[in-house]
Structure 1
Amino acid sequence: MNSVWNGTSADRRRAVLAVKDSLRHLNGELTSLNRRVSGKAGLKDIDLECLDLLVRDGPTGPSALARSLGLHPATMTGVLDRLDHGGWIERDRDPADRRASVIRAAKNRAGEVYGLFSGMNSSLDDICSRYSDDELAVLSDFIARTAEAGRRAANALA
C-alpha cells in the first residue's frame, strides 16, 4: 500500500485532518445508530456491544470478555446477567475447566438485533458497489489499521 503523495505538505496536512474529522463524524453517527438499535432491542448500549463482540468473535469466558470491553469484572457480571435474563446469551461450562464458564450469543436471538441494522447494511452495500476491488482492499486495510490503533490507544489508557 505504498503510494506517492504529489501535493504539498500543507495539502497533505489538510487531507489527513479531513480523514480524522471524517472518522470523528463517523464515530458519532455509528454511536447514534447503535444507541437507537439498543433502544429498539431493549438493550443497554454496553449490552449491545457485548453481544456484538460475542457474535463477531465467538464464545469466550467472562474475564476475557470484560478485558475486551474494558469493563470491571463486577460490571461484566451485571451485563451478562441482563443478557442472560433477556435470553440473548447462553452460559455453558468450559469443557477444559469445569469451574469456568463460556459465554455465547444465543443463536435464536441474534437476528432480532441485526435486522435492525438492515438499513445501514443496505446502504453499505450500495456504497461499496461504487468502488473497485482494489479500492475496497485499500479501504478495508485502512479501517482495520484504524481499529487496531484505537484498540492500542484504549489499552494504553487502561
Structure 2
Amino acid sequence: MTRDDDLQRLILAVHALTRTAAIDTKNDTPAAQWRTLTLLRDHGPQRLGDLATLSRISQPGMTRLVHQLEDAGLVARGIHPDDSRVSVVSATEEGLQELDRWFQVLSAALTPHVAHLTDAEWDAVRVTADALGSRVRPEPELAR
C-alpha cells in the first residue's frame, strides 16, 4: 500500500464519518454553512471572493450563502480597514456559538461509532490529526 493509498483511505473515512454524523443528527443545515463559519473562525474576516476561494465554491454561491448566514445573524459584513469600497465578512459571536454547538452535537453523534477504538488507535488518530492539521491549516490573517 502506498502513501497515496493511505491518504485516499483517510479522506474516504473522514467523508464517511461526516455523512454518518449528518444522518445521525438529522441535521439538514448545509455543510457549507459550518465550513464557512469554521473558515471565518480560523482565518478571521475575509473578503467575499477570498472566502469563496477558501471554501472552494463560486463567488455567486458564496454571496447567497453569506446572505443566508447574515439573515440568521451568524455573520456580519463590515468595511475593509484599508479600502472602504470593499466589505469583509466576519463570524458573529452568535455564529461562533452556533459552530461550537454544532461541533458538540457532531462529537456526540460520532462517539458511539468510535467508542471501540483502543488507546493505541486513539493515539494514532491524535498524531494524524496533529500532523495533518499543522500542515494544512494556514495561519489566520485579516482580509487583504
Same fold (TM over 0.5): yes
Q: How far apart are residue 137 of structure 1 and its match?
A: 4.9
Count of residue correspondences:
129
- Cα contact 2:73–2:94 (8 A) shared by 1: no
Q: 1:69 aligns with which of 46, 55, 64?
A: 55
Rate the CA distance shift 1:37–1:47 in 2: closer, same or farther, 3 A: farther
Q: Percent same amino acid at aligned positions?
A: 17
Q: For residues 2 and 56 of structure 2, what CA distance do their matches in structure 1 show?
A: 33
TM-score (ref. length: structure 1):
0.62
TM-score (ref. length: structure 2):
0.67
Alignment of 1:82 onto 2:68: yes
Task: Point out where structure 2 has 5 or more consecutive residues left out of the alignment.
Answer: 138-144
2:130 is matched with which residue? Answer: 140
Q: For residues 98 and 14 of structure 1, what CA distance do their matches in structure 2 show?
A: 50
Q: How far apart are residue 101 of structure 1 and its match?
A: 0.6
1:155 is matched with which residue? Answer: none
- Cα contact 1:88–1:110 (8 A) shared by 2: yes
Q: How far apart are residue 26 of structure 1 and its match?
A: 2.2
Q: C-alpha deviations, 1:33-70, integer Å up to 9, x for none?
A: 3574853xxx3221221111111211111010011112
Alignment of 1:28 onto 2:55: no
Q: 2:33 aligns with which of 35, 47, 60?
A: 47
Q: C-alpha deviations, 1:69-125, integer Å up to 9, x for none?
A: 1222111110110000000001101120000011110013322232232255575xx
- Structure 1 stretches of 4+ with a deviation exceeding 6 A read none
